[in-house]
Amino acid sequence: MYIYADNAATTKPSQTAIDAMVSCLKEVYGNPSSLHSAGQKAAEVLFQARVDVAQAIGADFNEIYFTSGGSEADNQAIRSAALTGARRGKKHLVSTKIEHHAVLHTLDKLENEGFEVTLLEVGPDGIVKVEDVEKAIRPDTALVTIMYANNEIGTIQPITEIAALCREKKVVFHTDAVQAVGHLPINVHDQQIDMLSLSGHKFHGPRGVGALYVRKGIPLRNLIEGGAQERGKRAGTENLPAIVGMAAALKEAVANMEENSKTVTALRDRLIKGLSHIDHSRLNGDPVKRLPGNVNFVFEGIEGESLLLLLDDKGIAASSGSACTSGSLDPSHVLLSIGLPHEVAHGSLRLSLDESMTEEEIDYIVNAVPEVVAYLRDISPVWEDLVKGDKDYVIQ
């Protein structure tokens, strides 16, 4: 048995997505920019995929720019809005401390280039306050960029309220919705979102493809220069097989969203309940305002990587915000942002579920995790100190 509970990292491509890709690879080999019929057939397929992706998020087809993934979409959106703002003397950018590195590192770079960046704190629940966003916006704010849902702790941000606020204040609003699209209902027009990033491989589509939605009227600058693809805004021969795979997966995800969401939320809550029995542990992130598939716990006294590896030996694929998984010494910036001290943040575990999972699998995880945690605590000098009372528990 192998239980894949790392769907926030990447999902298995669905059969629908694979079939769409294979038929494209075999039959739609033309370049959409070519005038001959092989090329024009490809152009039609590309157009249909654009329409499908647009519909899935309530956008118009000509507001969709295909990219190589979520990171590129984030980079282009933020850099574009920043440079456009700078032309008008606006060099202030607002975001949060819990963004993905694709956002944070782009902001870092812009800071080095002379922009001023305000990174908002989130509460212990992992949610940013709308009034904090309001307070942060200044006359020279060029962009507010706040993720739709967090990739580590799954918390859903008050995007509709923030977008409305930005619209009112006439500030461009971008959201990294990589973890949300295909999982939460989104309508960019109704929600007044100006720019939105999505990535194919987070909803059972392929990797290496994503999209940036840019509302009509919002200027977009190139990150990649060259040919006139994507209406001149993103050069490079279109990754058609991946684009149609993504469109097919997204269509499917949106069609089944309600049902999937119910299934996955039930599994999630069963898992959360099961793991809550472990003493000196805590669920990270808001219990309700969270992605249907996200479970993130912290267990005092142990370190995440060994937990992962031992769970993997038991056939469970999971993930951790421990620093050791990444080669850094600092644990995840998200866990630190919600107030976990370093030593505790090292002991985190993320289990991200999907609709293919069963209650049996959840119960298997619920049995396996406490065993591994108990073993690791048993060999942990940190736990020894806690038990002996030489140190105080952080998590009661």
Count Cα neighbours of 339 within 13 Å in the Cβ-side half-sphere: 13
d(CA 292, CA 39): 41
> Vertex 189, ends 67 and 223: CA angle to 5°?
25
Residue type, 352: S
| Near ligand PLP by CB under 6 A: residue from 187, 237, 358, 367 | 237
Q: Which is nearer to another protein, 255 or 309 (CB)?
A: 309
Kindly tell me which residue out of 178, 188, 193, 223 binds ligand PLP, with binding defined by CB under 6 A: 178
Contact residues toward another protein (CB under 8 A) are 8-10, 31, 33-35, 40, 43-44, 100-101, 151-152, 227-229, 232, 237, 301-306, 309-310, 313, 319-334, 341-343, 346, 350, 379-384
Residue whose CB is less far from a copy of itself, 29 or 393: 29
Closest CB to a copy of itself among residues 192, 199: 199
Percent helix, strand, coil in the chain, to 5, is 45, 15, 40
Give the residue numbers annotated as catalytic, written as ranges: 324
Residue 381's binding partner among ligand PLP, another protein, a copy of itself, none (Cβ under 5 to 8 angstroms by kind) is another protein
User: How far is it, in rounded angstroms, from Cα 125 to Cα 130?
Assistant: 14
Element (H, E) at 134: helix 130-136
Judged by beta carbon distances under 5 to 8 A according to partner kind, the member of another protein, ligand PLP, a copy of itself, none in contact with residue 179 is ligand PLP
Is 238 among the residues that bind a copy of itself (CB under 8 A)?
yes
Give which of a copy of itself, ligand PLP, another protein, none residue 4 binds (C-beta under 5 to 8 Å, depending on kind): a copy of itself
Longest CA–CA span in the chain (Å) reads: 77
Q: Is 69 in the site for ligand PLP (CB under 6 A)?
A: yes
> Minimum CB separation from a copy of itself for residue 70, in Å?
7
Give residues 276-315 in contact with a copy of itself (rule: CB under 8 A): 305, 308-309, 311-312
Which of 7, 71, 157, 191 lies at the binding interface for ligand PLP (CB under 6 A)?
Answer: 71
**CA–CA distance, 67 with 338 (Å, rounded to integer):** 31
Residues 79, 115 contacting (CB under 8 angstroms): no
Distance CA 365, CA 343 (A): 24
For residue 16, give the amino acid letter.
T
CA–CA separation, 154 vs 291, rounded Å?
A: 5
User: Of all residues in this chain, which one has the CB nearest to ligand PLP in the complex?
Assistant: 70
Q: How far apart are CA 50 and CA 247, in angstroms?
A: 8
Which of 186/223 has CB closer to a copy of itself? 223
Is residue 116 a contact point for a copy of itself (CB under 8 A)? no
CA distance 115 to 119: 13
Give the one entry of another protein, a copy of itself, ligand PLP, none that residue 318 binds, where binding means its C-beta sits below a cut-off of 5 to 8 angstroms depending on kind.
a copy of itself
